[in-house]
Structure 1
Amino acid sequence: MTFQELEPKVTDILHHEGVLREDKLLQICHLLRDNIDYYDWVGFYFRNGDKEELILGPYAGEATDHTVIPFGKGICGQVAVSNKNFVVPDVTAQDNYIACSITVKSEIVVPLFVDGKNIGQIDIDSEVLDAFTELDERFLEFVNAEVAKLF
């Protein structure tokens, strides 16, 4: 399924009345993982109140031990500090990478802003080397802009 085909599905999930925010986010994770071949793990991390750490939110994929990530640590922790997208073509080339699985080859993390404040991010792992392009970035920015409306 193309990103263009997925956009209305994302919007539809997020506008369902009577569905908890966490459940909507979980549905988004499954939608992306199930419909984009190279999205092997899709999850959200959110800032833990005033603490400089991220806590794992809804996700689709293998279970992870990385349920709390300090700011600055790993790709997610770096995005929490930089407020910028981070595309990693080859995770083995990153000194500050936190390995979730030996099968992960590349990663993309896109921050989630509400009222100009970085409250979290969407994190995607791929078992394909150099999997992510600018099209992925633009699509995930769209997803996060839609998700931000829930907050």
Structure 2
Amino acid sequence: MPFETLKPQVKSIVLNTKKTVDERLLAICELLETHIDYYNWVGFYFRNGSKEELKLGPYVGAPTDHTIIPFGKGICGQVAVSNQNFVVPDVTAQDNYIACSITVKAEIVIPIFVNGENIGQIDIDSNTPNPFTEADERFLEFVCKEVATLF
């Protein structure tokens, strides 16, 4: 399903105040994982209070042991420090990669900003080598801007 058709669905999920924030975040994960073939694990990480670490939030996909990630460690931890999108076409080429599953070939992480502060990120793993394009980045930036309105 093309990104443009998913945007109104993301907005609708975010605006559904009958659900908790975590329920809405999970619904976004489910929407993306279901409708984008090469999104095999979709989840959110958020800053863990005032600590220099990320805590796993809602996600869909294989269970992960990485529920806490120190800033600077792995792709997610690097994004927490750099405040920049990070697209990894081939996870085996990354020295600072934290392997979640042997099936993962690529990863994309986009930060979420509230009032200019990086509060978390969306993390997507793919079992397809080099699947992410600039269109994925722009779409996921849109998703993160929508998610930011929940905080």
TM-fit CA distance, 1:18: 1.7
The one-letter code matched in structure 2 to 1:122 is I
Aligned pair 1:147/2:147, yes or no? yes
The 5 A counterparts of 1:18-37 are: 18-37=18-37
TM-fit CA distance, 1:68: 0.2
TM-score by structure 1 length?
Answer: 0.99
The one-letter code matched in structure 1 to 2:75 is I
Aligned equivalents of 1:82 and 1:13: distance in 2? 29
Map of 1:76 onto structure 2: 76
Aligned equivalents of 1:76 and 1:101: distance in 2? 15
The CA deviation string for residues 54-104 of structure 1, in whole angstroms up to 9 with x for no partner, is 000000101000000000000000000000000000000000000000000
Structure 1: 5+ residue runs without aligned partners? none
The 5 A counterparts of 1:85-100 are: 85-100=85-100
The one-letter code matched in structure 1 to 2:17 is E
Aligned equivalents of 1:150 and 1:4: distance in 2? 21
TM-score by structure 2 length?
Answer: 0.99
How many residues align structurally?
A: 151
Map of 2:126 onto structure 1: 126
The one-letter code matched in structure 2 to 1:143 is V
Identity of aligned residues (%): 70
Aligned equivalents of 2:87 and 2:47: distance in 1? 20
Map of 1:12 onto structure 2: 12
Extract structure 1 runs of 4+ deviating beyond 4 A.
none
Structure 2: 5+ residue runs without aligned partners? none
The 5 A counterparts of 1:101-140 are: 101-140=101-140
The one-letter code matched in structure 2 to 1:48 is N
Aligned equivalents of 1:50 and 1:142: distance in 2? 26
TM-fit CA distance, 1:17: 2.2
